[in-house]
């Protein structure tokens, strides 16, 4: 039977050191989690990953493998990206405790949730962060803010554990609330929105990136469900049809 914990997944993107994959698997298991997803790891499977898992071999063995982050989070309704840097991607910033509370609340409502970590050397790219709904920042000492990947995973999984225990104590673990739109559904909507804005000449020669970033934030804050996304896409389809008729009539 699917549980709230099983809807929470940790996603590692482009991990360079296999030992960090094993240590992350151990971090998950100690905090009652089991869903680990790997996006294009440099070396896996690997003996170092097995050694560092230290009793969490089952989490390691069941880890999902994906070619891209978009594929790894396609079914998720909440995607939180862990980053220590300002990548000039305008995302709502969350502390680990805030992020964990939001993740557990979403999972308790039946949503699949992903918390995403980037490669050790560079962290998440701007392209990866564009797939996230908010950014999680661990408030390390600015004088020495370099945090090992597996240690960062442990911080977030610990906060998830605390939030889950608090939800259980409060009786909030029931499957309540409406079904939020999946990541894939939202990305499909954003793609159609961008196309429609181009077709109706909304930008009028201006660069579209700024407007799309603001619109993404607006709609993500709204917490759209699947029916609402279908309604909005229907409106966009009609706008595209009218734009096409307008272009035909002006020839």
**Could you give the domains of the chain?**
5-170 (3.40.1280.10), 183-249 (1.10.8.590)
Q: What are phi and psi of 174, to 5 degrees?
A: -65, 155
What tokens does 180 get? 């939020």
> What pTM does this model have?
0.77
String of DSSP letters for the chain? ---TGGGEEEEEES---HHHHHHHHHHHHHTT--EEEEES-SS-S-HHHHHHHTT-HHHHHT-EEESSHHHHTTT-SEEEEE-SS--S---EEE-HHHHHHHHHHHHHTT--EEEEE--TTT-S-HHHHTT-SEEE-----GGG----HHHHHHHHHHHHHHHHHHHHHHT--S--S--BPPHHHHHHHHHHHHHHHHHTT-STTS-SHHHHHHHHHHHHHHT-BHHHHHHHHHHHHHHHHHHHHHHHHT-
Of the listed ranges 17-21, 100-104, 163-167, 245-249, the one predicted with least confidence: 245-249
pLDDT digits (tens, 9 = 90+) for 171-229: 754 444 467 889 999 999 999 999 999 999 999 988 899 899 899 989 988 889 889 99
What tokens does 46 get? 């690997």
Contact 64, 38 (CB under 8 A): yes
User: Residue 215, Cβ neighbours under 10 Å: how many?
Assistant: 15
User: Residue 95, Cβ neighbours under 10 Å: how many?
Assistant: 13
CA distance 10 to 59: 11
Query: What is the pLDDT at residue 29?
Result: 97
pLDDT digits (tens, 9 = 90+) for 124-182: 999 999 999 999 999 999 999 889 999 999 999 999 999 999 988 877 544 444 678 89
Query: What is the pLDDT at residue 87?
Result: 62
């Amino acid at each position: 039977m699917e549980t709230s914990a099983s809807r929470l997944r940790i996603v590692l993107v482009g991990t360079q050191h296999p030992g960090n994959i094993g240590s992350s698997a151990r971090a998950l298991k100690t905090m009652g989690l089991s869903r680990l997803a790997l996006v294009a790891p440099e070396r896996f499977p690997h003996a170092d990953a097995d050694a560092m898992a230290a009793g969490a071999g089952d989490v390691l063995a069941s880890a999902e493998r994906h070619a891209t982050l978009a594929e790894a989070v396609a079914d998720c309704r909440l995607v939180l990206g862990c980053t220590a840097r300002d990548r000039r991607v305008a995302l709502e910033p969350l502390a680990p405790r805030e992020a964990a509370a939001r993740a557990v609340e979403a999972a308790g409502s039946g949503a699949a949730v992903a918390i995403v970590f980037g490669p050790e050397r560079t962290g998440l790219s701007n392209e990866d962060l564009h797939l996230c709904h908010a950014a999680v920042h661990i408030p390390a000492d600015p004088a020495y803010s370099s945090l090992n990947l597996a240690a960062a995973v442990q911080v977030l999984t610990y906060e998830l554990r605390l939030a889950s225990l608090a939800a259980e104590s409060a009786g909030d673990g029931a499957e309540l609330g409406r079904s939020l739109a999946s990541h894939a559904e939202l990305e499909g909507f954003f793609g159609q929105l961008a196309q429609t804005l181009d077709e109706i000449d909304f930008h009028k020669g201006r660069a579209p990136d700024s407007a799309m970033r603001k619109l993404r934030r607006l709609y993500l804050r709204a917490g759209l469900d699947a029916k609402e996304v279908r309604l909005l896409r229907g409106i966009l389809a009609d706008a595209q049809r009218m734009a096409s008729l307008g272009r035909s009539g002006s020839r």
